[in-house]
Structure 1
């Protein structure tokens, strides 16, 4: 179905130009970012000037257009300087999860071909170990808040290098390369062009409707595509003010909304659960908050209404994936027709969706009356669709069709108004607390354990609608099983959200004739 929303005007420009070229003197004086912990303010003029100086410093370091630079940083104002400085230099930012272990960072830096790396002091031990392992020298490892032997943000800005003259094709030049597991397998570099990101901001702008000067809480990580596009770039385009939080803490989250008079919050379902149920919420004045938009994982309709009713706010929901820059669907207010909060709404402007029967390949149409259509796989086509996966033509061909449609791997159904309801997951990916967990990645790790003969990992639903990674393990020695020790061993080697939280020992892993794990059989056994 082709979107009935207005076709967006997509600037033929880089991300930096599309966001900042039309800044007025009045805009430059507006606060762009506020450090939620310290209250320090950075104006738009300061942000742009520092990002341009950072770009100049990268160029002086020998970073050229097309080079890949790792960025391992939590949500602090300096992230925006580094991120937009990398893009302004014509380089490609591969954003690294702030929770990653040295091994996980190394894998991403090596796979992406990173030639420089940017981090902060609290994350430096992990970052330095990984960057050194892939051959990045100390002179190209920037520690933004300072560390002996490494360039700091203050030093790079003080050098006063002018931003380079960079000429790129926005449609083909890779701006960012976050890592995603796609529909299956281990994380892959998702190549997103400047046009992809510029288009998605233009598509979201009229729907999410951030207001000039309003305070936006930035707790969802900027390294994640949701935080990168829908939070960081969209808010900057709207000339809003981002109030940053390096990590989620409910008390600090509520304090910042109250003290900074935050009016718009981008959240994920686990935060919605806290807002709906936690008694601490009643101890703060949250009257400034007008809207919250949930993304990264499906929001239960009852949960959404519980948050809206308790706080007296408007709840919105969006849908997307890294490969879509990320937004393809948004539930918004004020449109004709009935849009239930449990749906993700309709496609954004300039986009088409299809729901396809996975057996016949036939297109499923919306029902004529109440209720939902048959479920099928959701496909999306539009200017926000990725260029492909780095060095992985097989995975690219599996996800991107020749006609431009991207297969999301999510099962969906239409209602009579064309709203999309995500009903199941065709892909193997586990979503824990809004983060992607690839079963294949955990399986590969577990198979290196001397007590594991074979293994399969699935996602198991929890009472609050989340998913926990669960491992089915064939032991080397029956009778020597120790699930707690095995879970602790995994926890030492992966980011916290990837931890295996349940272990079941089995005699054999069910597999097809071709050797593929039959995960449906395992899920049926839980």
Structure 2
């Protein structure tokens, strides 16, 4: 029997994204500050932001963008990103956000695969945009630099009025973010206006953020997590959003102090810094009341360490690009330590045996066996662009989405993520979840950061768990060698796990390779061997 949200009577507002975000803008909110762009040193009110979006949409329409056209956007976190994205949606066009560090070849592939007819980017990126556009076969005039003389400032100055557009929000495409899904190469994820509006409303229903909050925008807007919870939900909730083009700990801490940030959405690597980095002690974070972690599993011990150090509440949630992304939230009304909580409004889940596809029921007590987490709700994608085989594998029917994540649930239906199904290490037939070993490693004083992957053992040909560790700064008087520290770390972890879960190899790194949203790049580590 699937586990349903406590708000199972949830209905999706029947409007498009622009109308949902700006249509309800009350007169008393118009003069409130919406966006503080730290890079530009500017502030914009909600009335100004709406005016900028309308002017940009009007200009893009005059330029030839029509309902259903796909527009690629490669831009760092900024007011420019928000304006450009919302202008695209104002016209009923489709946004395909491009990761900042993509090579020209990768950008060109996304442009061609998505069918984008226009690339919005920055001249400050150098020649990468021109090279990507040329490789994709876009005419030179279909590349717009938002930061040059004919960019957004020109759009604002011309003040073109956008046309009224009509479409069915439930079926009309809004965004094409790219995700590798549970397997394979990145694919365009088809998200409708209904999907994204539903997810914003689900976040709003959870009540984690209010209009009185000041939020730091550390998560990249090009990723669905940042796009939904920051560029969209924060604006809908009338919170104040600080944008920064990149994460730097000192900038992050200074902004929290200077702007009295009250709430921040983070990924686990930021939690590691908040728990362990000495720089935190040099800043006044007393205005901060809570952080919300997503994008990767957050260990309970790490969450408690952040709470204790900063005297705040740490929440955890779960989602994936294919679900817009949020499906579960662990909030005040349903706080279960170490868990991602229960489904958000209008959503349900079940745990399924990945071999037999039989549902693993909610236990009468304790926790269930491990299985794959499946979810169902109005935020679930309509499918992958041009890939019926992958769509059929990921959407098995009856509205369900296979997440590719191994999980278990307790007798309340709270879900605990075990690990990615494809990242499970198979050691002599036993399943070893890397996240469990990583969580133990992060409790050790010698460890600043860590990742665990399965690698082939040359001696036996078997897959073994190998740890990649960033060593904590060496304290004065500590004369131990790397070999001695490595042995101490292995011994400390191996004493606390089953024999088949023991770390069999360890290597020190200067940093653990991660994506912009904080996910460990395990393939990069596996390639190291």
TM-score (norm: length of structure 1) = 0.82
Whole-Å separation in 1 of the counterparts to 2:455 and 2:128: 27
Q: How does 1:373-392 map to 2 (within 5 A)?
A: 373-392=368-387
Whole-Å separation in 1 of the counterparts to 2:92 and 2:134: 24
Runs of 4+ in 1 over 6 A off after TM superposition: 458-461, 468-474, 494-497
- 157-166 vs 187-196, which moves further: 157-166
User: In the TM superposition, what whole-angstrom CA distance separates every residue of 1:151-209 from its partner, at most 9, and x where no partner exists?
Assistant: 31111222221112211110111101000000000000000000000001111112143
Over 3 Å counting, the alpha-carbon distance change for 1:472 and 1:355 in structure 2 is same
Partner residue in 1 for 2:108: 106
Q: Secondary structure at the match of 2:14?
A: coil
- 318-327 vs 409-418, which moves further: 409-418
Whole-Å separation in 1 of the counterparts to 2:37 and 2:424: 34
- 177-186 vs 127-136, which moves further: 127-136
Choose the corresponding residue for 1:353, options 335, 338, 349.
349
Whole-Å separation in 1 of the counterparts to 2:67 and 2:456: 46
TM superposition shift of 1:141: 1.4
Partner residue in 2 for 1:188: 187
Partner residue in 2 for 1:121: 123
Whole-Å separation in 2 of the counterparts to 1:166 and 1:429: 47
8 Å contact kept, 1:180–1:188: yes
Over 3 Å counting, the alpha-carbon distance change for 1:271 and 1:224 in structure 2 is same
8 Å contact kept, 1:61–1:140: no
Asked if residue 332 in structure 1 is aligned to residue 335 in structure 2, the reply is no
TM-score (norm: length of structure 2) = 0.81
Choose the corresponding residue for 2:47, options 45, 55, 58.
45
Over 3 Å counting, the alpha-carbon distance change for 1:181 and 1:378 in structure 2 is same
- 273-282 vs 95-104, which moves further: 95-104
Over 3 Å counting, the alpha-carbon distance change for 1:26 and 1:94 in structure 2 is same
Consecutive unaligned residues in structure 2, runs of 5 or more: 426-432, 443-448, 459-512
Partner residue in 1 for 2:479: none
Over 3 Å counting, the alpha-carbon distance change for 1:467 and 1:127 in structure 2 is farther
Q: Secondary structure at the match of 1:318?
A: strand
Q: Secondary structure at the match of 2:190?
A: strand
Number of residue equivalences: 454
Q: Secondary structure at the match of 1:255?
A: helix
Over 3 Å counting, the alpha-carbon distance change for 1:473 and 1:106 in structure 2 is farther
TM superposition shift of 1:424: 2.1
8 Å contact kept, 1:124–1:143: no
Consecutive unaligned residues in structure 1, runs of 5 or more: 431-457, 475-490, 506-526
8 Å contact kept, 1:98–1:123: no
Q: How does 1:426-445 map to 2 (within 5 A)?
A: 426-427=421-422
Whole-Å separation in 2 of the counterparts to 1:189 and 1:260: 37
Q: Secondary structure at the match of 2:4?
A: coil
Q: Secondary structure at the match of 1:343?
A: coil
Asked if residue 407 in structure 1 is aligned to residue 402 in structure 2, the reply is yes
TM superposition shift of 1:301: 0.5
Over 3 Å counting, the alpha-carbon distance change for 1:140 and 1:396 in structure 2 is same
8 Å contact kept, 2:317–2:341: yes
Choose the corresponding residue for 2:416, options 414, 418, 421.
421
Asked if residue 398 in structure 1 is aligned to residue 403 in structure 2, the reply is no
Whole-Å separation in 2 of the counterparts to 1:425 and 1:362: 19
Q: How does 1:169-208 map to 2 (within 5 A)?
A: 169-208=168-207
- 282-291 vs 22-31, which moves further: 22-31
Whole-Å separation in 2 of the counterparts to 1:38 and 1:105: 26
User: In the TM superposition, what whole-angstrom CA distance separates every residue of 1:338-375 from its partner, at most 9, and x where no partner exists?
Assistant: x4321100001111111111233221122222x31111
Q: How does 1:42-191 map to 2 (within 5 A)?
A: 42-146=44-148, 151-191=150-190
Whole-Å separation in 1 of the counterparts to 2:517 and 2:262: 32
Asked if residue 294 in structure 1 is aligned to residue 293 in structure 2, the reply is yes
Whole-Å separation in 2 of the counterparts to 1:152 and 1:121: 10
